[in-house]
Amino acid sequence: KDEPRDVGALMMMKKVHVKFVPLGVIAGIVPWNYPFHNVFNPLVATLMSGNALVLKVSEYASWSIDYYGKIINECLAAAGAPPDLVQFVVGYGPTGNSLVTNPKVGKIIFVGSPGVGVKVMEAAAANLTPVVLELGGKDPFVVCEDTDIDGVVQTACRGVWQNMGQNCAGPERFFVYEGCYQEFTDKVVKIVSQMRQGPPLESACTDAGGICMGSRQMEHYQMLVDDAVSKGAKVLAGGALPVGSD
């Protein structure tokens, strides 16, 4: 439905309204850390605005399509919508690039790293395709001296290790005032040393599961830790991959 807009006294001879027109086919490229949310977030916005969706999920979460695809198809059928209104594709970078550079795509939704986000925007510029980017950042967590340390320690640990740290909104940098630094770190170390890691579906007592992206990402994390230590950081808990880990 068109919406009228006020033009103001200087343009009183004019009439203005906003006309909403679907873009057609929208392409989504989403990551692996929250397969359900990352699929349904662009899906709902796309369909409710009258568009079709082609969605590329991460190669690390391709398995999720079989499950979520069935749910989506049943919902489309129940609503009387065309069965092919939502399509899934799998693959690596070239697959995503084919979506971004396709002139028939009316808009692109990308969720991922800043580095890849730059490439998506550059490639989309050739066709002047609109792009929505949700990119990772370095979320700061500030601990002031007058805070409730016992409470904030629990919040901090949950933020860091929620979804095993694979969380776009998780705290990644901590700024702790000197007056509470020692108490804060001591209590964090106590919690971390008691955490139990393992397959989350095998025990209700598991505190943290595994890394979704496998050994390559684990080696990258180790490199980051080693680099920080070489520049003066101190490891208070963990800091090394288990011997013989896959």
- The distance in angstroms from the start CA to the end CA of the chain is 56
Q: How far is CA 76 from CA 48, 82, 103, in A?
A: 12, 7, 26
Annotation says 202 is catalytic: no
Q: Which of these is catalytic: 134, 157, 172, 180?
A: 134
Residues 6+ apart with CB under 8 A from 189: 236, 237
Question: Is the Cβ–Cβ distance between 185 and 192 less than 8 Å?
Answer: no
CA distance 51 to 22: 6
Contact 85, 76 (CB under 8 A): yes
Q: Which amino acid is it at 96?
A: G
Looking at residue 61, the DSSP 8-state letter turns out to be: S
71 touches 38 (CB < 8 A): no
Task: Assess whether 180 carries a catalytic annotation.
Answer: no
Query: 112-125: string of b/e by CB count within 10 Å (b at 16+)?
Result: beeebbebbeebbe
Contact yes or no for 54/89 (Cβ under 8 A): yes
Q: Specify the length of the chain in residues.
A: 246
- Pairing of β 3-5 and β 16-18: antiparallel
The 8-class DSSP code of residue 85 comes to: S
Please pick, among 59, 74, 145, 168, the residue that the annotation labels catalytic: 168
Residues identified as active-site: 134, 168
